[in-house]
Chains A and B, each alone.
Chain A
Amino acid sequence: MLRLSPLLTASALLVLLLLSALLSIMMGAMPLPALDSLLSVIDAMAGSTFSRLLDYQQAVVMELRVPRILLALAIGAILAQCGTVMQGLFRNPLADPGIIGVSSGAAVGAVIAIVWLPASIASWSVPVAAFVAGLGATLLVYGLSQTRSGTSVLVLLLAGVALSAFAGAAIGFVSYFASDENLRALSLWQMGSLAGSNTHRILLAVCTLILLSIAFQRRANALNALLLGESDARHLGINVERLKLELIVLTAIGVGVAVACSGIIGFIGLVVPHIVRMATGPNHKTLLPLAALCGALLLLIADLFSRLSVQPAELPVGLVTALMGAPFFLIMLIQQRRRWDS
């Protein structure tokens, strides 16, 4: 199959990313001129006064749109890389970061925080509870999958399914006792949103993205070898058990931070690695950074769509990614089925 050059693909993605970022700055409930919007960002960074935007327009750019763009880029890149790693670890292109129970666990944590903890501390209690519960759920699933001969991928998957079912019941149970107001907050949180972007969240997401990208890239060759199967990877000198634990914990941290910052945003981690793999091949050395770029782009576009589609209100971005991703997932399944048939 014909492959695109990774360098060319990265350049194309970067150009699209810059264009989408510019569109995201300009467009919204209050449309702004392109050049002045761009200049106002330069003004804010360089301390110059080129932009002719009014103060309140500049505030819209720098306090609402730019933080949101930064959060979208970081979360999209984190989710896409985590998805890539999970698909490599499970040697299955249909795997998703949620497979290890992190999303379900995080959802339970967030629901408990929304319903049972005081609303006055919700701005930090919800993300913290989501992160802690997500990581806890992953470690529980991982612990259950340990057998005498190492980690059983089958048990890990089944434990993830069981935990998700349990989490669904727990969320239902807590929701039953929630007030109407809490119920709305809860359902919106589960649909994911980038509207709560603030400096803390951006810093957290960007730092996590940088650390994860470095950690994943250092393990890219080992991940490639892991695609041969665990035995073959072990015969190539890789400490497979340690690698699996590291990848699972890193992914849990990545998805935990993403969920904590923006609620549950599905399908980016599933769809993006698949698209990039089809375009440039399965080598994780190039797949990981390209997936990061593509994930950032896709979430930025999804967020733009979520802001523009029902103006002046906005759709939860998790809904938009699911609407875009679910049909794609079905197409992938049908293709896979054809391969099995043949």
Chain B
Amino acid sequence: MLFIQNLHVYSDKKVLLNVDQIQLQSGDVMGVLGPNGAGKSTLFKAITGDIQSQGDVTLHNRSRKAWAHQALARHLGVLAQASQLSFPFHAQEVVALGLTPLSLSHKEGWKQIKRLMARTDCLHLAERSYTSLSGGERQRVQLARVLLQLSQAEHAPLLLLDEPTSAQDLGQQHSILDLARQLAKEEGYGVLVILHDLNQALQYCDLCILLDRGEVALQGKPAEILTPDTIEHHWQYRPEQVSLNNGQPILI
């Protein structure tokens, strides 16, 4: 569904991103890993068109630039790390902004809002002012908004999650990643997720790309690329690796 080829981002002649090829299939969760400044967020911005880039970003065999604004919004959703919203909307009104690219009736729209707020565990916050919510609660409200915007897609949607677990407590971190996996496996979403916790990548991702200095250093199954050697090479820290009874590797 997502095909990226020869994607370059420059800033004052300095190369910020230089990606040869990335391919994501519908139904897969792909982790985007790498040390700070590796180009993870830059990759997201280049995919969405928030920054100027050269090269091809193709979604469902159509170049991103060829998509109409609203149709693209129904197929490409982005959960940013933090939102700039500082006006006192109720949480459910923030989610309702996800209706912008859709043509749903008022009644159907509100039904979807409630359903998705329940799914991201924020329905109990519906009438609360967004500005009074904690960072993690805000992130879940925003996730419901993004899922609403993708709810009427004609083709499998692409969901970009930029550190969706950064403001969450332990339980919520796992329920958000569980949800991402559910969306991929049950509804065919393609999910691209920036993660700092490598164990979460091992646990939830089908594939990972490891970015370093703007380039894809490694690409493949998480257990294959997240070895103590590669981690030491890219993060300058050597973890110990142990295996759980079910064979799942854990990094300590």
Contacts and interface: CB of A to CB of B under 8 A. Distances in A.
Nearest to B51: A149
A187 interface: no
A282 B49 CA distance: 29
A91 to B, nearest CB: 6
By CB atoms of chain B within 10 A, which of A93, A221, A224, A228 has the most? Answer: A228
Contacts, number: 72
Interface string A219-231: 0011011011101
Interface stretch (A12-20, A34-42, A233-241, A321-329): A233-241
Interface residues of A, number: 24
A93 B88 CA distance: 11
Contact of A93 (B51, B52, B83, B87): B87
A245 to B, nearest CB: 15
Interface stretch (B28-36, B94-102, B207-215): B94-102
A237 B100 contact: yes
B78 interface: yes
B173 interface: no
Given A236-B101, A237-B101, A91 B73 contact: no
Interface string A195-238: 00000000000000000000000000110110111011011111
A165 B83 CA distance: 34
Given A232-B80, A237-B100, A227 B87 contact: yes
Given A91-B84, A229-B83, A282-B87, A224 B97 contact: yes
Interface string A306-337: 00000000000000000000000000000000
Contacts of A277: 87-88
Contacts of A235: 48, 73, 76-78, 149
Contact of B52 (A149, A227, A236): A149
Contacts of B83: 228-229, 232
Contacts of B80: 229, 231-232
A180 B122 CA distance: 67
By CB atoms of chain B within 10 A, which of A221, A232, A235, A237 has the most? Answer: A235
A1 B89 CA distance: 10
Contacts of B73: 235-237
Interface string B54-79: 00000000000000011111101110
A283 B89 contact: yes
B90 interface: yes
Contacts of B74: 237
Given A229-B80, A232-B78, A234-B49, 13 more contacts: A1-B129, A222-B100, A227-B86, A227-B87, A228-B83, A228-B97, A231-B78, A235-B77, A235-B149, A236-B149, A237-B73, A277-B87, A281-B90
